[in-house]
Amino acid sequence: MSEAQDVLNQQAQGQLRSIIERAERLESEKAEIAEQVKEVLKEGKLSGFDPKIIRKVLRLRKISREARQEEEALIDLYMVASGTEV
C-alpha cells in the first residue's frame, strides 16, 4: 500500500477525488464564462461603450447604496488629504 492509501481509507480517497474533479470542472466553467464576459464587453466597446466603466458599474451594482456612498466619501477624503483635486 502507498502512504496515501495508508492515511486515507477508500471512502475518503473517493470523496477527495470527487471534490478535486468537481473543482476542476468548475474552474473550466469559470474560464469559459470569463471568456463570454470578455466577448460581451468587446461587444459593448464596439457599440461605443467604455468596457472599463461597464466593469465599474458591474462592481458597484453588487454593493449597497450605503457601501457605495461610504466608498465615495473615503475616496474624496483620500483625494483631499493627498492634495488631489476633487
For the CA atoms of 36, 40, 45, 46, the dihedral, rounded to the nearest 10 degrees, stands at: 100
Q: pTM of the entire structure?
A: 0.66
pLDDT of residue 5: 65
Low-confidence ranges of the chain (pLDDT < 50): none
Q: What are phi and psi of 39, to 5 degrees?
A: -65, -40
Helix axis angle for 51-61 and 10-46, nearest 10°, is: 130
Rounded-to-integer distance, Cα 72 and Cα 59, Å = 14
State residue 1's pLDDT score. 52
